[in-house]
């Protein structure tokens, strides 16, 4: 028995992996593996249509939004987003506002600068990304084409616990949110966003699938330099089949969506995720042996970076964790220390085992 705390690619539900194994050689009597199917055949069409339907239902995506299945990951989207949206106000690429809350926002900003003017409207970099900058400190642009956020910073461990209102300060600019590492972990009012995007490999499925949820009026504004395969309108008009979609990754994501529905959907996941995060943070707060650096009201429920007070024990800590089957707890190299990623597929028993180990390690060191 192991518990995998990897930040991504990350743990998947056992039941899903078992079902995929059972169906590997012969999907539903078709005589084919899903990997071998034509993406336009009726077997595969039934798989992708069910995945889209379930995603829409689970995440309560309104009917005036398209769900697109793409490739390239969130990092490719960092370029694809300005190429699709920077021209929203007409006259070529305009200005886009970005909120810098950590490593992933920083990357998004750097990439967007290649395609449009970027205004960093707020940043917590000076505070080492320990909090989300308060909304009333943001210096938004009146003519911003869009406002970009990373709503869960996987590396730094901060998460928005609110949806900012930017409409009045920006003449209704849409919010574009990178939700790679917490999509489907909590209820979201999708109608407050213009675009929600993320790679699947944190909280949904295998790497290779990128999900973009986009309000329909934001389609059709791509700059001429945008590759056709990444022009969201072209992708939407072709039901995510302008080019061959990542068929197997979509199939696994579809199995995860069915699993989520059996568990009770996003509301039940959110309830469990709150309980899991509370268990871990309460323990970390109860002792001086471990420390955390994130403001309490900005802590991520998905990714918890923490540090041993005595960092010379780091290697011993990790070796002992591995012996107990607690895997991939080493922090990101840019932050150091430890990081426990506790996505939807991590059961509460995994967090209990981690806390039990934290207590044991503290007692014995």
Ligand X SMILES: *Cc1c(COP(=O)(O)O)cnc(C)c1O
Of 252 and 358, nearer to ligand X (C-beta) is 252
243 is known to lie in a ligand binding site: yes
Based on the shown chain and the rule CB under 6 A, indicate whether residue 75 belongs to the binding site for ligand X: yes
Of 104, 138, 232, 259, the catalytic one is 104
Q: Which of 123, 181, 247, 341 binds ligand X (CB under 6 A)?
A: 181
Based on the shown chain and the rule CB under 6 A, indicate whether residue 339 belongs to the binding site for ligand X: no
The one segment of 26-34, 73-81, 163-171, 212-220 that binds ligand X by CB under 6 A: 73-81
What sign does the CA torsion over 343, 344, 346, 351 have?
positive
Nearest approach in angstroms of CB 304 to ligand X is 14
**334: phi then psi, degrees, rounded to nearest 5:** -75, -15
Based on the shown chain and the rule CB under 6 A, indicate whether residue 74 belongs to the binding site for ligand X: yes
Of 202, 233, 276, 330, the catalytic one is 202
Based on the shown chain and the rule CB under 6 A, indicate whether residue 150 belongs to the binding site for ligand X: yes
Based on the shown chain and the rule CB under 6 A, indicate whether residue 199 belongs to the binding site for ligand X: yes
Based on the shown chain and the rule CB under 6 A, indicate whether residue 292 belongs to the binding site for ligand X: no
Whether 138 is a known active-site residue: answer: no
Based on the shown chain and the rule CB under 6 A, indicate whether residue 350 belongs to the binding site for ligand X: no
201 is known to lie in a ligand binding site: yes
215 is known to lie in a ligand binding site: no
* Count, residues near ligand X per rule CB under 6 A: 12
Whether 178 is a known active-site residue: answer: yes
The one segment of 72-80, 252-260, 285-293, 306-314 that binds ligand X by CB under 6 A: 72-80
Numbered residues of the known binding site: 40, 104, 154, 178, 201, 243-244
**Residues with catalytic function:** 104, 178, 202
């Amino acid at each position: 028995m192991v518990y995998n705390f990897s930040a991504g690619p990350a743990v998947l539900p056992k039941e899903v992996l078992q079902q995929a194994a059972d169906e590997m050689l012969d999907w539903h009597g078709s005589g084919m593996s899903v990997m071998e199917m034509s993406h336009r055949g009726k077997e595969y069409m039934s798989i992708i249509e069910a995945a889209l339907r379930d995603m829409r239902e689970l995440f309560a995506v309104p009917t005036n939004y398209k769900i697109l299945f793409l490739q390239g990951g969130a990092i490719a989207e960092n370029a694809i987003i300005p190429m699709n949206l920077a021209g929203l106000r007409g006259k070529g690429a305009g200005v886009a506002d970005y909120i810098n809350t950590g490593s992933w926002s920083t990357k998004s900003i750097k990439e967007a600068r290649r395609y449009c003017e970027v205004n960093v409207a707020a940043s917590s970099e000076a505070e080492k990304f320990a909090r989300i900058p308060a909304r009333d400190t943001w210096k938004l642009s009146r003519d911003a084409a869009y406002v970009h956020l990373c709503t869960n910073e996987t590396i730094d461990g901060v998460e928005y616990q609110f949806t900012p209102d930017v409409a009045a300060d920006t003449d209704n600019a849409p919010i574009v949110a990178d939700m790679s590492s917490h999509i489907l972990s909590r209820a979201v009012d999708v109608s407050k966003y213009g675009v929600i995007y993320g790679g699947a490999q944190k909280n949904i499925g295998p790497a290779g699938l990128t999900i973009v949820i986009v309000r329909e009026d934001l389609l059709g504004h791509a700059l001429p330099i945008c590759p056709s395969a990444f022009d969201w309108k072209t992708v939407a008009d072709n039901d995510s089949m302008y080019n061959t979609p990542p068929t197997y990754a979509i199939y696994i994501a579809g199995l995860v969506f069915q699993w989520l529905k059996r568990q009770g959907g996003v509301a039940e996941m959110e309830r469990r995720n709150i309980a899991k995060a509370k268990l871990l943070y309460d323990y970390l707060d109860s002792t001086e042996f471990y420390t955390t650096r994130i403001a309490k009201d900005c802590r991520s429920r998905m990714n918890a970076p923490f540090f041993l007070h005595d960092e010379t024990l780091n290697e011993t800590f990790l070796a002992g964790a591995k012996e107990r089957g607690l895997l991939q707890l080493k922090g990101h190299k840019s932050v150091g220390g430890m990081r426990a990623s506790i996505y939807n597929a991590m059961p509460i028993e995994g967090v209990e085992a981690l806390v039990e180990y934290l207590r044991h390690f503290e007692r014995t060191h």
